[in-house]
A and B are shown apart, each in its own frame.
Chain A
């Protein structure tokens, strides 16, 4: 009865959208077009020849569509290597970040211990310091430890630092979880590790998803660290660094660059389409803390 009524109202509204609704929709559509245009242009250019890009003006639809740019980007410009490097680096970074943030968030939430206040204060104070400030010593230290120009060195640098947001997200979550769960586990004879691994960690689904997404975005798109970590080891370049090298090469290959760019952003756009919720909660978290 009630639902029938509201549907009826809904229909009558839908029949005659007010002027305001239509105007705002057109406004948004126009603005959105401005935002998507560079991607549409890039998409279209990736199916053109370089000559066509130069002569086509504003025409978006390719006259003679060709896939060859994707082949050139993937094989000749080594984006197959860069892509694999990005996948390995990002995956390893995510594993380390989830592990270290969930464990440290857990003990910070559940226990009072000496040094806790100090650790939390240090994490918060250094939260905002720009990476640029710390770049030179990071590179020099990595060089001295033999980590510069190595994959493991890059991964450690990406997963290093404070990772404050994720640590405190886990901490906040564990604080809100009833501690009776752990106490019950202990009565059943579960030790510290058991309680964490089989009682508490499985509950962190949404937090872990948000952490994975945030770290994915940070590591996949990071530019500064991979750039300085792969100066003398081209075989370890990630997609963003490869992109810059490709664009600064001797041969200007516009359609190849566009194809490479689309290949590079495809995974993260796909992730966004399927896990939009976690992207939004991860970013919105910055203002709620």
Chain B
């Protein structure tokens, strides 16, 4: 039940209310509502650059060209493959770690949590620069270690510069960077399982695995759905890390959709704003679909509980 907590008065102070809402409404209109509408509008025109004049309406031409463009299809495929590699790894590894760190007798919890959180605190621009050094095939420690371990197939490879290894490598760096975030999600979820439940089960003689299977898992499923969706939406927006690690290269091997948009709008010698806007609109729409799926999944899970 929603709590009724609004002030009862004879007259609602509309002046104050709108004054208090004004900053949010103005900024929200400028930086969210207008850009959404404008992206769709630009995508239906032939605008090339920010200084273009005589912009004409061209209907769905940009969209038709987009879906015939092998580079755009490539960026969709790159985003998809990145998701398939990075999301399960981050999801499972962070859950296992959270279970360990949530264990009552685990030593050094805060210390470990801080260690795993360090990369989350660090901006992608810096992670990118540092990993370019660490993965440098001549001086970087990773290739030196691969060489010592006698993994010759990789030891002399530039992991970020090779067409086949670039995407898996960026996925590993991404999991490394964001694991601490998922860890906090999972720990918060695990801590919402009441202690009494554990105690009761233990008195009944349940062992750890039984405890986990029959008590923790059912309670975690709604959280797991949310964490999975958050992880997927993070992975789709991998722009910053890609831009600094590989800039979409080598030969578009790591060009995700957002990097594709950025390249056509801001990096190309002859920018194609309308075209990039069409890609952005498709991307935003696909993203909203994921959110809708989340809402449906959430509702389904809640119905299942009752």
Q: Which residues of A contact B (CB under 8 A)?
A: 13, 17-18, 20-21, 24-25, 27-28, 31-32, 34-39, 41-42, 45, 53-54, 57-58, 96, 99-101, 103-104, 106-107, 109-113, 119, 122-123, 126-141, 143, 156-157, 159-163, 167, 175, 179, 182-183, 192-193, 196, 217, 220-224, 228, 231, 239-241, 243-244, 246-247, 254, 257-258, 261, 264-265, 268-269, 272-273, 276, 279-280, 283-284, 286-288
Contact = CB atoms under 8 A, between A and B. Distances in A.
B39 A137 contact: yes
Given A28-B100, A157-B31, A103 B21 contact: yes
Given A28-B106, A287-B185, 9 more contacts: A35-B118, A58-B144, A109-B5, A122-B28, A128-B287, A167-B24, A247-B244, A287-B227, A287-B230
A38 B134 contact: yes
Contacts of B7: 110-111, 179, 182-183
Interface of B: 3, 5-7, 12-14, 16-17, 20-21, 23-25, 27-28, 30-36, 38-39, 42, 50, 97, 100-101, 103, 105-108, 110-112, 114-119, 121-126, 128-134, 138-139, 141, 144-145, 176, 179, 181, 184-185, 187-189, 223, 226-227, 230, 233, 236-237, 239-240, 243-244, 257-258, 261-262, 265-266, 273, 276-277, 280-281, 283-284, 287-288, 290-291
Contacts of B50: 139-140, 143
Given A27-B100, A136-B42, A160-B28, A128 B233 contact: yes
B244 A244 contact: yes
A223 to B, nearest CB: 5
A243 B126 contact: yes
Contact of A179 (B5, B176, B184): B5
Contacts of A265: 121-123, 126
Nearest to B229: A128
A110 B132 CA distance: 51
Nearest to B13: A192
Given A126-B32, A136-B277, A28 B291 contact: no
